[in-house]
Structure 1
Amino acid sequence: MAELKTKATDASIEEYIASRANEEQKADCENLIALLKRVTEERPKMWGPSIIGYGLYKYTYESGRTGEMCRTGFAIRGKELVVYLIVEGAEQEALLKQLGKYKMGKSCLHIKRLADIDVKILEQLIIGSLVHLKARYG
């Protein structure tokens, strides 16, 4: 089985942001770091080469494959910021409708800038995602 590429590292968060972010993204990254640190009560750590992650959970798929991943985090993806969270259930879906301008993948919330969304709603979505992860994975 292939080794997972996305795992916690000691890489520098500051160097990652400096190498990828434009000026507006740098300010948004600082705000996301503060928000996620407050909500998770965890210190950020680089996961793989491009995710600023918080916390850790261990999972096992039905196939028996196991792994570890950060509970939440974000990455700079070109002109977008991607926040990693789970949006499941009516309450989370209702919050998502109030968020503002975004695109949602399976567990990737794509935004161009924090100014395009309601950051208080984002915080509630992240909290809901953390609750969901804890219920599912302990």
Structure 2
Amino acid sequence: MTGHDPAAEFFAGLPPQRRADAEAVHDLIRAAAPRLTPWIWRGVMWGGTDQTILGYGRIAQTNRGGATVEWFRIGLAYLSLYVSATRDGRYLAQVYGPRLGKAKIGSSALSFRRLADLDRSVLTELVAEAARPD
């Protein structure tokens, strides 16, 4: 019997026009952060939308209600990355955002229309730093 592949499950649910870029981001994350095990997170994000996210690494996070929940160090949702790691009190998405290329940068998230819009070497730096143990 073969093991469950969360990445294959995640990619099967993506629209075909986004799948190639998402798979390339996944490959980049796996190369830059091989110790972060992929897993599927399902739940309601802030804003009330149901999400399925391919998470990498598991961390405990306190939500707005004060409960501790299982979360991911890095998460891939369509063509958005959620990065829970910080440097000097700033989320890494904000630290690396100005160097990434054409992306929308939020507090801990970055969204892009296609991988070609990003500087892959900067994205690799961001992922490698996010994967470092605390």
Report if TM-score (shorter chain) is over 0.5: yes
Q: 2:82 pairs with 69, 81, 84, which one? A: 84
Alignment of 1:1-138 (within 5 A): 12-23=6-17, 25-41=18-34, 42-48=36-42, 50-60=52-62, 64-76=66-78, 81-85=79-83, 86=85, 88-89=87-88, 93=94, 95-131=96-132, 134-135=133-134
Q: Give the whole-Å Cα distance in 2 for the aligned partners of 1:38 and 1:104.
A: 23
Following TM superposition, by how much is the alpha carbon of 1:87 offset from its aligned partner in structure 2, in angstroms?
5.6
C-alpha spacing 1:32/1:123, structure 2 compared with 1 (3 Å): same
Q: Tell me which protein shows more strand as a share of its residues.
A: 2
Q: Give the whole-Å Cα distance in 2 for the aligned partners of 1:26 and 1:64.
A: 35
Aligned length: 118
Check conservation: 1:59, 1:68, Cα contact below 8 A: yes
The alignment partner of 2:13 has SS state of: helix
Give the TM-score of the pair, scaled to structure 1: 0.69
Check conservation: 2:6, 2:38, Cα contact below 8 A: no
Q: Give the whole-Å Cα distance in 1 for the aligned partners of 2:28 and 2:41.
A: 18
Following TM superposition, by how much is the alpha carbon of 1:96 offset from its aligned partner in structure 2, in angstroms?
2.1
**Gapped runs of 5+ residues in structure 1?**
1-9
Choose 100-109 or 56-65, whichever is displaced more: 56-65
Give the TM-score of the pair, scaled to structure 2: 0.71
Q: Tell me which protein shows more helix as a share of its residues.
A: 1
1:125 maps to amino acid = L
Check conservation: 1:40, 1:55, Cα contact below 8 A: no
Q: Give the whole-Å Cα distance in 2 for the aligned partners of 1:75 and 1:62.
A: 21
Q: Give the whole-Å Cα distance in 1 for the aligned partners of 2:61 and 2:14.
A: 30
Percent sequence identity is 30
Q: Give the whole-Å Cα distance in 1 for the aligned partners of 2:77 and 2:64.
A: 28
**Gapped runs of 5+ residues in structure 2?**
43-50
